[in-house]
Structure 1
Amino acid sequence: MRAIQFARFGGPEVLEEAEVPDPVVGPGQVMVDVEAAGMNFADVRQISGHYSAPDALPHIPGNEVIGRDPRGRRVMGFTANGYASRAVLDEAEVVVVPDSLRPGEALALLVQGLTAWHLLRSSARLREGESVVVHSGAGGVGSLAVQLAKVFGAGRVIATASGQDKRSLARDLGADAAVDGSADGYAERVIEANGNLPVDIVLDAVGGEVFDAALTVLAPFGRLVTYGSSSGEPARPVDPGRLTAGNLAVLGFWLRPLRVRPEMIGPALGELLTLTATGRIRPLAGGEYPLAEAARAVADLAGRRTVGKVVLLP
């Protein structure tokens, strides 16, 4: 089969196309002919050697695919080596996908959709009427978190984004306001966007100085949920006294541990598919790149030149 792999850590240039043996199908698994492989920012960090190092090199990256199984069903699910023309899925995790969904729309619900759902429901425990700040509101997770926050009853949703086009997109998706998300002047912009009031919830995958600034805008009993550090800046220590003074909470979220708890995957994904089918949320299908152009896709993803779910097409 055709695959994209890397034999050393680095930038997009370390990716190379290769002909490799088909993956081995184990008990309880199923082989799929890949229609599209989903891309995530975590892939960029893994290729660079800064995240979830593989057991051995060379390694085929990619954690999610959509394709056809031996029964002809169009299915998607998690995999270990997705940047390839064939992949193996755990049969218990396989989700049947309607043909009406573009591959990017469907795959957006798997990692980004489940992450956004659990950020709001399981971690932040959003209550009706609360205000929510979504960092990177035009990104994969952010664009769905903006929409889900409104569906789940948020009183006001404020998105941050780096450019005017992305801020306009966040407003089109339902954000009540969209502001520049850079650290300088962050607090003033966010509080003004919330009617000069502090906010109840911040969802942050930027980290660094933006994380620090986000802590300053929380209302009493406010929650900041961190689920990544795309800025690449060092992690910031949090003074417990700063939390107790405002009855604040800082929580972390990572999707991967939930995969061993199917009760936290199936119902959430079912709700996401229903919300999509009824038009209440709109997963953003982003760029579609040929598998052979994986390096260009990774470079665009790392350079924040993409919007929505980016996929590779074998």
Structure 2
Amino acid sequence: MRALLCKQFGPPETLVVEDIAAPEIGPDDVRIDVQAAAVNFPDSLIIENKYQTKPELPFSPGGELAGVVSAVGDNVNHVAVGDDVIAFTTYGAFAEQVAAPADRVIPMPAGVDHVTASAFVMTYGTTYHALADRAALQSGESLLVLGASGGVGLAAIEIGKALGAHVIAAASSEDKLAVCREHGADETINYGEEDLKTAIKDRTGGRGVDVVYDPVGGPATEAALRGTAWRGRLLVIGFASGEIPKPPLNLALLKGCSIVGVFWGSFVKREPEANRKQLTQLFTWLGEGRLRPHVSATYPLARGGEAITLLASRRASGKVVIKPQD
């Protein structure tokens, strides 16, 4: 089978496509013919040895996928050969086949195509866990989404609206903000042209926002923290800007606000039953059309490095998906 391989740590252009042996499975594993695998920001980190998970070389990046079951281990009974499934693997998905632990494989919802399914679980799972669980976002509260035109940003807009929040989307260009409005944002901030803290105060009548969803990091974090309301919550999702911020903690003291970490991967491992309940809610909303994953580009396996570069450079809107069988 073909796989996009990281044989030495480095940028996406160092990745190569090679033929390797098909993966073997144990009694608790599922082998999947990968039809689509979404690109996520951690993929750009793991190939440069900058991610908390550090696989041995060589390996294939790619943490979430959708495909068709081709084999199951003796202890697996919730999926069968021929089933359409979604899997989240941390790495290994950018290949024609993957072996995944059965507890990380779930049946694909009816009526959803492979590309959409591959771009759903990690992005929307992270975001629902962040907003509903970690921030306890309530109907009528205000939500500021940074990097709002990206995959998790658009998910935050949609889930925020589903939870009844007033959503303010912040992004760096009018083209990106137009996509945010299409996905339900009530108001927008172009932080390429406006001072973020001032714009937050303007959009909230001086009160500040109740919840900040921050997958960006860098200078935007402190500006957003300064724009939070009393008892506000700033959600630390990631650092797409490449800079881990160090905001002054006296701001949290003065505002009585919280800085809340969100690590969905660890949540899935530690609280699997809670994760299953959250995914059930998400799949219900997906079936109702309240969630609409936005895939802006698809790439064949041979151009997988380009797909990672596009996402890592923050030029992509929504999700980018690799199709290993093309």
Range class of TM-score, shorter chain = over 0.9
The answer to which of 173-182 and 125-134 deviates more is 173-182
Is the contact made by 1:183 and 1:210 (CA closer than 8 Å) also made in structure 2? no
The answer to which of 88-97 and 158-167 deviates more is 88-97
Which residue of 2 is the match for residue 176 of structure 1? 186
Which residue of 2 is the match for residue 81 of structure 1? 92
Number of aligned residue pairs: 312
Is the contact made by 1:109 and 1:269 (CA closer than 8 Å) also made in structure 2? no
| 2:104 pairs with one of 79, 93, 100 | 93
| 2:154 pairs with one of 125, 136, 143 | 143
Which residue of 1 is the match for residue 133 of structure 2? 122
Which residue of 1 is the match for residue 163 of structure 2? 152
Is 2:303 aligned against 1:303? no
**Residues 161-209 of structure 1 deviation map (CA, whole Å, 9 limit, x = unaligned):** 1111110111111111111235971111122122343111101011121
**Residues 129-176 of structure 1 deviation map (CA, whole Å, 9 limit, x = unaligned):** 11000111111111011011111111x210011111110111111111
Identity across matched positions, percent: 35
AA partner of residue 202 (structure 1): V
| 1:185 pairs with one of 179, 182, 195 | 195
Cα offset for 1:237?
A: 4.5
1: distance between equivalents of 2:108 and 2:66? 8
AA partner of residue 244 (structure 1): L
1: distance between equivalents of 2:312 and 2:196? 23
Is 2:155 aligned against 1:167? no
1: distance between equivalents of 2:119 and 2:309? 19
2: distance between equivalents of 1:67 and 1:266? 20
Cα offset for 1:7?
A: 1.6
Compared CA separation, residues 104 and 193, structure 1 to 2 (3 A): farther
Which residue of 2 is the match for residue 54 of structure 1? 54
The two structures, once aligned, show a CA RMSD in angstroms of 1.6
The answer to which of 209-218 and 53-62 deviates more is 53-62
Residue segments in structure 1 that go unaligned for 5+ positions in a row:
none
2: distance between equivalents of 1:131 and 1:2? 47
Residue segments in structure 2 that go unaligned for 5+ positions in a row:
71-80
User: TM-score, structure 2 length as denominator?
Assistant: 0.91
**Residues 112-134 of structure 1 deviation map (CA, whole Å, 9 limit, x = unaligned):** 00011011111111112110001
Cα offset for 1:54?
A: 2.5
Which residue of 1 is the match for residue 304 of structure 2? 294
2: distance between equivalents of 1:203 and 1:82? 27
Which residue of 1 is the match for residue 34 of structure 2? 34
The answer to which of 99-108 and 271-280 deviates more is 99-108
User: TM-score, structure 1 length as denominator?
Assistant: 0.94
Cα offset for 1:288?
A: 0.8
SS in 2 for 1:116: helix
Compared CA separation, residues 182 and 236, structure 1 to 2 (3 A): farther
Is 2:14 aligned against 1:4? no
